[in-house]
Amino acid sequence: MGALLLCSLCLTLAQLFNGTNVVIGKYLSGYMSVYTFVFIRFLLCALCAGFLYYRRWFTLVSAHHPLGALTGTDWGYLLAQVLCAGLLFNLIFYHGLQYTTATSAGIVTCSLPVVIAVLAVLLLHERLSLAKQLAILLAMLGIFIINIDNFFLSVPHSGSVYGDSIVFLAMFPLALYSIFSKKIAGRVTGLGTALVSGTVTSVGISFVLFYEIPSPQQYAGIMTWPWHCYPLLLLSGLLTLTVYPLWAYGLRRVPVSSAAIFSGAVAIATSVLGSMFLGEHFALWDGLGMAVVFIALLISSLK
């Protein structure tokens, strides 16, 4: 019981850190491109993990690996993981975050378990129970509710409707990450995943930055950013580094499908921090939408 509680705490902290990164990214988007933020965040993650690996503080292969070394299949699933959750997810998610609030984005993230259920049916041919079907409908209803006050905006794509739709699409590569986790669980260490993910994602994002059309406001120069941007970037990189071992440890006792339910902690972090530091207003529709999505999470967890 104590081990299960500790694993649950690790999963909760990991998702709280993810929610904190959403708020940091939203705040820093006023000073730099969101892709610049993602690039620096994962570059710092890779550099810190690389230093720890060089100092032999961790190994890439988990001590629980049955063969003691990564196979070609293991590398395939590992790269698929980091491409989905590291590169594709962040490209799509932070593009959508530009057009919505951190609060709304955090609530939409709660739909992850439902998306996992859908992909499990499509890819793993799992049976979709009545509870799962109801959870899917409620999750869609919750996302609709938080956008009710945005359907009547006169400026296209300036509210949450467009942004929340893009954020919801980002849940699909994140759900694929969870599915791939089933294939490689107990084979790669959490910090090992952080090292590979930080490296692959920062390299991938660098190509996006190379082809992105510069904006004078966002690319005025790194030396022109306010001083507080630098500690926030460092904090974001360290949080990203910490998420992977926390998540890996939590999965020791909690199944992947159940672990996704902890995505509700992202909504809590973005709602609280968004209100405190971004001046976002937690509207009535946000509260109702979050409640409906949380009900969907509870229903989806039923056996």
User: DSSP states of 40-82 as a string?
Assistant: HHHHHHHHHHHHHHHTTS--SB-TT-SSSS--HHHHHHHHHHI
Please list, in sequence order, all residues whose beta carbon lies within 8 angstroms of the beta carbon of residue 163, skipping any fewer than 6 positions away.
96, 97, 98, 99, 100, 101, 104, 105, 157
Half-sphere exposure of 294 (CA within 13 A, CB side): 12
Question: Is residue 1 included in any domain, yes or no?
Answer: no
Question: Is residue 251 included in any domain, yes or no?
Answer: yes
N-to-C CA span, the chain: 20
Q: What is the pLDDT of residue 154?
A: 47
Q: What is the pLDDT of residue 150?
A: 60
By residue range, what is the domain housing residue 114? 6-300
CA distance 227 to 238: 18
Report the predicted TM-score, pTM, of the whole model to 2 decimal places.
0.86
Burial 16-47 (b: 16+ CB within 10 A, else e): bbbbbbbbbbbbbbebbbbbbbbbbbbbbbbb
Burial classification of residue 96, based on how many CB atoms lie within 10 Å of its CB (0-12 exposed, 13-18 middle, 19 or more buried)? buried
Question: Is residue 110 included in any domain, yes or no?
Answer: yes
Domain count, the chain: 1
Please list, in sequence order, all residues whose beta carbon lies within 8 angstroms of the beta carbon of residue 254, skipping any fewer than 6 positions away.
4, 7, 8, 11
Radius of gyration of the chain (CA): 19
Q: What is the pLDDT of residue 196?
A: 96
Using the structure block, give the residue that is written with the tokens 């999965």: 251
Per-residue confidence of the chain (303 residues) as pLDDT tens digits? Answer: 577 788 888 988 998 999 999 999 999 998 888 999 999 999 999 999 999 999 999 999 988 888 888 999 999 999 999 999 899 999 999 999 999 888 888 888 878 877 887 787 777 676 767 777 787 778 778 777 776 766 555 444 345 678 888 999 999 999 888 778 777 878 999 999 999 999 999 999 999 887 765 555 555 566 678 999 999 999 999 999 999 999 888 877 777 666 777 777 788 788 888 888 888 877 777 778 778 877 876 776 665
Question: Is residue 48 included in any domain, yes or no?
Answer: yes
CA distance 270 to 261: 16
Question: Is residue 93 included in any domain, yes or no?
Answer: yes
